[in-house]
Chains A and B, each alone.
Chain A
Amino acid sequence: KQEVTQIPAALSVPEGENLVLNCSFTDSAIYNLQWFRQDPGKGLTSLLLIQSSQREQTSGRLNASLDKSSGRSTLYIAASQPGDSATYLCAVVEYNFNKFYFGSGTKLNVKP
């Protein structure tokens, strides 16, 4: 069974720092990988989707990379801001297309 791990579980950084969040998965036969943001008490907001044939995707200050062979993805956040404080989750989809496997998330706190 696919297992998705996110390290660290929590991260606190000063405003302005560049930072990297990690996501690893045990079965490399994935169809795509998606990064989400979740604010306290709210639903998940999609940030980036990387297809298995892609190596990275960018949106504004966010850059996500995917290395299928090693079972890893990273989410890079440039010039962090207090508004980036949230929990970030990654999820992988396997080739049966319908089931998403989620990591437990990294809780990010960006201090002013």
Chain B
Amino acid sequence: DVKVTQSSRYLVKRTGEKVFLECVQDMDHENMFWYRQDPGLGLRLIYFSYDVKMKEKGDIPEGYSVSREKKERFSLILESASTNQTSMYLCASSPPGTSGHNEQFFGPGTRLTVL
């Protein structure tokens, strides 16, 4: 079974703090993704990575950065957390599109609250 794990289920941080969200997958997938999910707005892509050290901006990258130093790990960084970044953060991974079967698998999510 594909497993995508996220470092925390719930996180509470203060405005201005630097926040790290970690995601690890165990299926040797090339692609990894970070989304945020908010009521009424659905899932929005923040960043994705298609290889180690490679990254591309999604639809809402402002205020976020990412790091992918190893294939299995993809980190989302909030440089200076703000209250409007309170949200559910979801990590996902998938094989490359060229595999012909790029099914996407999600982690359990991290509920981040910024006070």
Chain A residues packing against B (C-beta within 8 Å): 31-32, 34, 36, 41-46, 49, 51, 89, 91, 93, 95-100, 102-105
Determine the chain B residues whose CB is within 8 A of the CB of A99 once the complex forms. Answer: 45, 48, 58
Assess whether B90 is in contact with A104, with CB atoms less than 8 Å apart: no
Chain B residues packing against A (C-beta within 8 Å): 4, 31, 33, 42-43, 45, 48, 50, 56, 58, 88, 90, 92, 96-98, 100-109, 111
Cβ of A30 to closest chain B Cβ, rounded Å: 11
Cβ of B81 to closest chain A Cβ, rounded Å: 21
Contact of B102 among A89, A97, A103, A105 (CB under 8 A): A97
Given A41-B111, A43-B109, verify A100-B104 contact (CB < 8 Å). yes
| Closest partner residue, chain A, to B6 (CB atom) | A43
Determine the chain A residues whose CB is within 8 A of the CB of B90 once the complex forms. Answer: 43-44
Cβ of B50 to closest chain A Cβ, rounded Å: 6
- 9 closest A-B pairs (Cβ-Cβ)? A97-B97, A43-B106, A44-B106, A104-B42, A102-B43, A43-B108, A49-B103, A43-B109, A43-B107
| Closest partner residue, chain A, to B90 (CB atom) | A43
Cβ of A41 to closest chain B Cβ, rounded Å: 7
Q: CA separation between A89 and B90, bound complex, in Å?
A: 14
Determine the chain B residues whose CB is within 8 A of the CB of A93 once the complex forms. Answer: 97, 102
Determine the chain A residues whose CB is within 8 A of the CB of B103 once the complex forms. Answer: 34, 46, 49
Assess whether A91 is in contact with B42, with CB atoms less than 8 Å apart: no
Cβ of B66 to closest chain A Cβ, rounded Å: 14
Q: CA separation between A92 and B75, bound complex, in Å?
A: 25
Determine the chain A residues whose CB is within 8 A of the CB of B107 once the complex forms. Answer: 43
Determine the chain A residues whose CB is within 8 A of the CB of B88 once the complex forms. Answer: 41
Determine the chain A residues whose CB is within 8 A of the CB of B56 once the complex forms. Answer: 98
Q: CA separation between A41 and B42, bound complex, in Å?
A: 13
Q: CA separation between A45 and B109, bound complex, in Å?
A: 12
Assess whether B31 is in contact with A98, with CB atoms less than 8 Å apart: yes
Q: CA separation between A98 and B108, bound complex, in Å?
A: 21
